Amino acid sequence: MCTSLSGLSILCGLLSLGTLLTAFVSNVWIYTKEPVLLPSTDLQTTVSFRIGLWRVCPTYKRINSP
């Protein structure tokens, strides 16, 4: 029972180390897009985020105009 649990903990440790190394090496590693409805108007915009370990870059795009 102990050997399988220690093997699982070693695997989780290596996986987390690999993920952290990927975050250090790559520039941007999460892309997300969120629709936003502006208050007191019917305008809808889209906010796109590129997220890395050291920075967050938002981009705004208007979908429809009045």
pLDDT tens digits for range 23-57: 788 877 788 998 888 787 777 888 898 888 778 88
Domain extent, residue 15, equals: 2-62
What domain count does the chain have? 1
| Mean pLDDT for the stretch of residues 10-15 | 93
In this prediction the pTM is: 0.51
Q: How many residues does the chain have?
A: 66
Tokens coding 53: 């370990």
